[in-house]
A and B are shown apart, each in its own frame.
Chain A
Amino acid sequence: NAGVTQTPKFQVLKTGQSMTLQCAQDMNHNSMYWYRQDPGMGLRLIYYSASEGTTDKGEVPNGYNVSRLNKREFSLRLESAAPSQTSVYFCASSVDRGYQPQHFGDGTRLSIL
């Protein structure tokens, strides 16, 4: 039982490069989320998808785009990476956009030089 799978696990980019972070869940969840984790700041919501075909901005969406490819997959794209986007990125999913717990992947550690 894989749960939420994120690829890649580590990545180093140069400023201005683009990259897509991949996320897939096998729990038949409707809602999916992208967070970034920075020291001392907890996790902050970047974008979320309440259901297939919908996406909405979270707390820190600037510099990112997302695609809900199908029910299983939710990708996060950095079009022109900046050093301020160096962070650990987590994907999560939940049964629906409600009060059910979210299930997290193991994260992608992204460094931008």
Chain B
Amino acid sequence: AQSVTQLGSHVSVSEGALVLLRCNYSSSVPPYLFWYVQYPNQGLQLLLKYTTGATLVKGINGFEAEFKKSETSFHLTKPSAHMSDAAEYFCAANAGGTSYGKLTFGQGTILTVHP
């Protein structure tokens, strides 16, 4: 069975600082990977996805993530945090086999941005 682990339930950064949100997956096959963002009282919005090909994936709002098979990781980064980035972020995996078509989510990381 696949699983997704996000290290750190809360991350706090200053405006303009680097954002790094960590995600590791456990899967018998390399999964398709996603990052979603959730603003208060809203649903989840897709930030970016990794399917195949280039391992560095660029998403919306200046975010990017790198798929590292050897480390089973898909960490999310943004060079310079903005106040509007404050939200909860979810990493999710969609693997094949019996999990085909099903998303497995990490526990979520709440990002706080200080002025």
Contact = CB atoms under 8 A, between A and B. Distances in A.
- Report, nearest first, the 10 A-B pairs whose CB atoms are least far apart: A97-B101, A104-B43, A42-B105, A99-B32, A104-B44, A43-B105, A106-B43, A101-B46, A42-B107, A105-B43
Interface residues of B, number: 24
Given A40-B9, A101-B49, A45 B103 contact: yes
Nearest to B91: A42
Nearest to A105: B43
What is the interface residue range for chain A against chain B?
20 to 34
Interface in A92-110: 92, 97-99, 101-107
Contact of A45 (B32, B49, B100, B102): B102
Main secondary structure of the interface of A (DSSP, over half): loop
Interface of B: 4, 9, 32, 34, 36, 41-46, 49, 51, 90, 92, 94, 100-103, 105-108
Interface of A: 4, 31, 33, 40-45, 48, 50, 58, 90, 92, 97-99, 101-107
Contacts of A99: 32, 51, 94
B103 A102 contact: yes
Contacts of B101: 31, 48, 50, 97-98
B102 A40 contact: no
